[in-house]
């Protein structure tokens, strides 16, 4: 027999060794468990790195684009220069001189300038020579947009209350020269900073040679926008197309309001929303009104229907007048006093921002 004390001693010794063994096994299990976590930890780390890389890629994709500052003073000067020639009625001396000025300026800014000379038949029935002017930037880029306006001025002041003044041509400061002024300043910026897309700036002729109501002639179809009709049927390049177009008409009047014109909403609602949202983001919602307005037959109508290029119209609509245009419209008051630099800035900066973010 083993004395009780010895038995107790053996028992305690056994328990102690057993505990040591258990602790050892626990440590081994812990080490093995930690080792088993290494792949998961590496995977999580890689996942985190991938997530960070993805975030970096997304940030690169959505990095802020440096947009040039549209100079309204420069656009205003371009308008003044056009007015110095006098009314730019097709086939007049002023018309020819202004064309030379515009072509010369655009050749200094753009990669290529096209002078598209053609013949049209206005409401008079007599053939008339016209000239569309097209300035192209990034000509090899397949992704293209159009910014356009008309550069002629109305040959009669048919909205004059004084009948003696109705047969005189109007200065055409806002109705014609304002859109051209904005486009010329856009051209100057495109020369200084290349855009990611191809841009074609088109100046249409004979937009304002439509049939006057006061002559009481039999009504004829399609007497307006003759230059746009000609270009749409005979583009300056074979098989020419563009993703979309934006027409500028009467874009310089003080406190002008631009509504979402109905033809624009019918043919290219996504482009309308894109432009108006850009204007809103730039702080010009007071000019670009988030409401629809009646359809207006303008150059964009023929670009849509004949050339099949989605095109919208940024045009002043004044709901306080009977004709929904400014009080100056088709009168001798369409002079430099009908131009405001703040309005030019609102339109020009919106378009510049849009172009450089494409």
Beta-bridged to residue 136, according to DSSP, are: 112, 200
Confidence check: pLDDT of 346 > 50 = yes
Kindly report, residue by residue over 284-340, the tens digit of the pLDDT: 999 999 999 999 999 999 999 999 999 999 999 999 999 999 999 999 999 999 999
> 3-class secondary structure for the chain?
CCCHHHHHHHHHHHHHHHHHHHHHHHHHHHHHHHHHHHHHHHHHHHHHHHHHHHHHHHHHHCCCCCCCCCCHHHHHHHHHHHHHCCCCCCCCHHHHHHHHHHHHHHHHHCCEEEEEEEEECCCCCCCEEEEEEEEEECCCCCCEEEEEEECCCCCCCCCCCCHHHCCCCCCCHHHHHHHHHHHHHHHHHHHHCCCCCEEEEEEECCCCCCCCHHHCCCCCCCCCCHHHHHHHHCCCCCCCCCCEEEEEECCCCCCCCEEEEHHHHHHCHHHHHHHHHHHHHCCCCCCEEEEEECCCCCHHHHHHHCCCCCEEEEEECCCCCCCCCCCCCCCCCCCHHHCCHHHHHHHHHHHHHHHHCC
- Closest among 23, 227, 260, 57 to 131, alpha carbons compared: 227
Query: Residue 19: which pLDDT band, with cuts at 50, 70 and 90?
Result: very low
CB 287 within 8 A of CB 346: yes
Q: For residue 114, what pLDDT is reported? A: 98
Task: State the residue for tokens 């004059």.
Answer: 160
- Give the closest residue to 333 by CA, choosing from 163, 172, 196: 172
Mean pLDDT across 1-10 = 34
Q: Is-contact 343 301, C-beta < 8 A?
A: no
- Are the CB atoms for 246 and 200 separated by under 8 Å? no
Q: Quickly state the pLDDT bin for 64 (edges 50, 70, 90).
A: confident
Q: Who's near 344: CB < 8 A, 6+ residues apart?
A: 72, 75, 76, 178, 181, 182, 251, 252
**Whether residue 31 has pLDDT greater than 60:** no
pLDDT tens digits, residue range 194-222?
Answer: 999 999 999 999 999 999 999 999 999 99
With CA atoms as reference, report the closest residue to 137 among 219, 179, 192.
Answer: 192
- Alpha-carbon distance 344 to 348, whole Å? 6
Position 63 confidence tier, pLDDT thresholds 50, 70, 90: low
Which residues pair with residue 117 across a beta bridge? Answer: 131
Task: Mark residue 357 as left, alpha or beta (left: phi above 0; alpha: psi -120 to 50; beta: remaining).
Answer: alpha
Please check the confidence at residue 152 and state whether its pLDDT lies above 70.
yes
Q: Is 13 exposed, middle or buried (0-12, 13-18, 19+ CB in 10 A)?
A: exposed
Could you report the per-residue pLDDT of 179-193, keeping only the tens digit for each? 999 999 999 999 999
Query: Among 56, 57, 101, which residue's Cα sits nearest to residue 77?
Result: 101
- pLDDT per position as a tens digit, 66-106: 999 999 999 999 999 999 999 999 999 999 999 999 999 99
Query: Rounded to 5 degrees, what angle do the CA atoms 28, 31, 32 make?
Result: 85
18 has a pLDDT exceeding 80: no
Asked if residues 207 and 225 have their Cβ atoms less than 8 Å apart, the reply is: yes
Domain 72-356: assigned CATH number: 3.40.630.10
In the chain, domain spans: 1-63, 72-356
């Amino acid at each position: 027999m083993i004395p009780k004390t010895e038995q107790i001693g053996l028992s305690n010794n056994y328990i102690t060794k057993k505990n040591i063994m258990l602790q050892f096994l626990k440590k081994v299990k812990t080490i093995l468990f930690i080792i088993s976590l290494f792949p998961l930890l590496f995977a999580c780390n890689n996942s985190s790195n991938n997530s960070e890389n993805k975030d970096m890629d997304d940030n690169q994709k959505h990095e802020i684009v440096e947009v040039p500052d549209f100079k309204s003073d420069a656009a205003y000067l371009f308008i003044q220069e056009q007015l110095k020639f006098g009314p730019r009625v097709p086939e007049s001396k002023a018309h020819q001189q202004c064309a030379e000025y515009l072509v010369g300026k655009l050749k200094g800014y753009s990669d290529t300038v096209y002078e598209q000379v053609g013949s049209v038949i206005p409401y008079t029935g007599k053939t008339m020579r016209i000239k569309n002017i097209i300035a192209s930037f990034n000509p090899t880029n397949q992704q293209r947009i159009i910014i356009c306006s008309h550069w002629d001025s109305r040959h009669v002041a048919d909205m004059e209350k004084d009948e003696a003044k109705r047969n005189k041509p109007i200065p055409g400061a806002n109705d014609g020269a304002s859109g051209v002024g904005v486009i010329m300043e856009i051209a100057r910026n495109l020369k200084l900073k290349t855009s990611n897309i191809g841009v074609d700036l088109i100046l249409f002729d004979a937009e304002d040679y439509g049939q006057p109501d006061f002559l009481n002639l039999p009504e004829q179809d399609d007497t307006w926008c003759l230059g746009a009709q000609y270009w749409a049927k005979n583009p300056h390049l074979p098989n020419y197309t563009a993703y979309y177009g934006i027409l500028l008409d009467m874009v310089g009047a003080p406190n002008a309001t631009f509504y979402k014109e109905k033809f624009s909403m019918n043919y290219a609602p996504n482009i309308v929303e894109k432009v108006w949202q850009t204007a809103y983001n730039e702080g010009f919602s007071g000019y670009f009104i988030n409401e629809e307005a009646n359809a207006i037959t303008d150059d964009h109508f023929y670009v849509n229907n004949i050339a099949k290029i989605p095109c919208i119209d940024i045009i002043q609509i004044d709901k306080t007048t009977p004709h929904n245009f400014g009080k100056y419209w088709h009168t001798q008051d369409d002079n430099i006093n009908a131009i405001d630099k703040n309005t030019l800035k609102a339109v020009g900066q919106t378009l510049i921002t849009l172009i450089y973010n494409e």
